[in-house]
Each structure stands twice: as structure tokens, then as C-alpha cells.
Amino acid sequence: MTVWLNGRLQAADAARIDPADRGFTLGDGLFETIRVKDGAPRHLPRHLERLAAGAAVLRLALPHDAAAMAAAMAALIAARGVADGVLRLTVSRGTGARGVLPPADANPTVLMTLAPAGHLTTPVTAIVARSTRRNEHSPLSRLKSLNYLDSVLARQEAADRGADEALLLNGAGRLAESSVANLFLAIGGRLLTPPLSDGALPGIRRALLLERHGAVEAPLGLDDLAHADEALLTNSLGLRPLLSVDGRPIGRGVPGPVFAALLDDPDL
């Protein structure tokens, strides 16, 4: 398998990341998961804008501009010959001495991998995670950082309890999102999603639904699940109907008209 690492294409089994890389030792970095369709990364400017915003928060200087990133992705897609798949872009701060303070002369590591993957539209069931909560006060709740352990714990709990996904509450007990996706509820003819201030990640497809489909931000609690006609989970790889939470159906417990209408949008 071919990957793109620090400026060049190379075989995955020959690629090397330094054992002192802060992405490995401290989770000091960011990533983007990008859908590739018809041989091109979808919504790439939005992904790179989010990456740049996250890098600014971490004070991490990206070593490549948007044009160079796009060229690298095109080279990897061509080398792999994957027309439809998922591209993972990982940026760490690079190596550093022991301790948490970043080095002043950091040299970031940039890795891109590509794998075949379908567009996820299959229905899911979920539980409300008991093992962890989203810290809505942390800036990390709004970044795709390399530390995803809250999501890992929540997803393990979901598997243990026989569900596909886990919904995360924040510290105030309001809904934030799922372990890997933004949450939308259709209630009374409105499409609602938790605000970023409640711990939601600024998802790419989330933004498109807010801009193009009349969705609005609103604080959501567990009681809102009982009043929802439909529930959706969205991320860059899929738009999925959420049919039940903790064994209780959402609406009629089947994919509904909002989901069907959104599937007809070729730009999502």
C-alpha cells in the first residue's frame, strides 16, 4: 500500500514516523477524514479551512499550503487508483524533547492514507454513553485532535450494550454529538442540531445542512429524543438515520422523509 508521508509517496511498510513524534507520545496534532468520490476529495476547501483553524488553536504551523495539500492528495489518489474511498490526513507537531511544552522549532509530520470505503447510509441504533461525557468547555471539543479517547470509550460501551453508536452528553447533561458524528433531530417540522458551545464538533456535513437545508442550532436534551420524528447522524463519510436510543424508537423507528430528502442532495 502506498502512503504520502512528509513530502513524498512511499510504500506503507517503508514509511517511518519517529518514536519521539508528539502525535504518538502526546496526541499533539490534528486529522481530517475526507471522502473521495469520482477520484476527487469532496469539500476539500472546507476540510483544509477546519484544519487551519485547529492548527491556529494549537499554535501548530502547517508545513504545506492548501495547494500543496491538494496536489499531494491528487498524487496519492492516482497512485492508489481508488476512485471512491476515504482519505485520512494526519498532522502532528513532530518530534520534541520530553515534556508537554512544544519545541520552538517544531517540524510537523504530515501523513496521508487512502482506503476504499462506501458512502454510509445504513440505519443505526445508539445508546447514551455512561462511561464518559463531552467537555463543552474544552477547546478540544471543537477540534479533530489526535486524542479521541472519549469517543473510543463511548464506542466500546455501545458495542458492549449491543448498539452501533453512542451519543455523548456534555457536562450540563445536554446532547453534544455521537462518538463519530453530528446529531440532528427533526422536531415539529424543524431540523435541530446541538450548538458548538454544547460540545459539538464543527462538522463539514453539519455546516452544509445549516447553510442549505434550514437546519438550526438549539440546545437539545434527552427529552427531545422522545419528541423527535426523526434523528440523523452525519459526518464526512455518511448520512445515517438513527432509529433508536437505549432501545426506545425515534419516531416510528424507521428512516423518514427528512432522511430521504437529504439523500437526494448530490452536494451532501
Mean pLDDT estimate for the chain: 96
- Check whether 118 has a pLDDT greater than 80: no
% of the chain residues with pLDDT over 90: 97
CA 250 centroid distance within chain: 23
124-263 folds as D-amino Acid Aminotransferase; Chain A, domain 2 (3.20.10)
Cβ(168)–Cβ(143) below 8 Å: no
pLDDT of residue 156: 98
**Structure confidence at residue 35 as a pLDDT band (50, 70, 90):** very high
Q: Mean pLDDT across the stretch 204-228? A: 97
- Check whether 205 has a pLDDT greater than 80: yes
- Check whether 119 has a pLDDT greater than 80: no
pLDDT of residue 120: 85
What does the pLDDT look like over 242-260, one tens digit per residue? 999 999 999 999 999 999 9
Using the CB atoms, write b or e for 134-172: b if 16+ within 10 Å: bebeeebbbbbbbebebbebbbebbeebebbbbbbbbee
**Structure confidence at residue 210 as a pLDDT band (50, 70, 90):** very high
- Check whether 267 has a pLDDT greater than 90: no
pLDDT of residue 65: 96
Question: What are the E-state strand segments in the chain?
Answer: 2-5, 8-11, 29-37, 40-41, 85-92, 109-116, 124-128, 165-169, 175-178, 182-187, 190-193, 216-217, 230-235, 238-245, 248-249
Cβ(181)–Cβ(124) below 8 Å: no
CA 161 centroid distance within chain: 23
Question: What CATH number does domain 2-116 carry, 3.40.50.720, 3.60.70.12, 3.90.480.20, 3.30.470.10?
Answer: 3.30.470.10
Q: Mean pLDDT across the stretch 23-47? A: 97
pLDDT of residue 166: 98
pLDDT of residue 268: 87
What does the pLDDT look like over 40-77, one tens digit per residue? 999 999 999 999 999 999 999 999 999 999 999 999 99
Q: Mean pLDDT across the stretch 203-208? A: 98
**Structure confidence at residue 238 as a pLDDT band (50, 70, 90):** very high
Q: Which residue ranges make up each domain of the chain? A: 2-116, 124-263
Give, for 149, the enclosing helix (H) or strand (E): helix 149-160
